[in-house]
Amino acid sequence: MILGATLLSDRKLYSIPIGLKALIDAPEVESLYVNVETDVPALYANVEMMLAQSGKSYAIDYWSIHQSNRDWRPAYDQDPKRLQGICTGRNMALEYALFPGFSHLLFIDSDVYPHPGSIQKVIDVRKSIAGGLVPGRGAHSGVFYLFGERERVGSVSRCAHGTCGFMLIARSVYEVLRFRTGPHPVTRGTWLSEDPCYAADAEFMKLSDGWWIDREAVADHIDNPLHPLTEDEAINDYFT
What range does the domain containing 39 cover?
2-239
- By C-alpha distance, which of 31, 216, 195 is closest to 120? 216
* Rounded alpha-carbon distances, angstroms, from residue 67 to 37, 41, 85, 87, 180: 10, 12, 13, 18, 22
Domains in the chain: how many in total? 1
85-141 pLDDT, tens digit per residue, is 899 999 999 999 999 999 999 999 999 999 999 999 999 999 999 999 999 988 777
159 — pLDDT class (breaks 50, 70, 90): very high
pTM (2 decimals)? 0.89
- Backbone φ, ψ for residue 156 (5° rounding): -105, 130
27-72 pLDDT, tens digit per residue, is 999 999 999 999 899 999 999 999 999 999 999 999 986 654 434 3
82 — pLDDT class (breaks 50, 70, 90): confident
Give the SS3 label for residue 232: helix
What CATH number has the domain bearing residue 86? Answer: 3.90.550.60
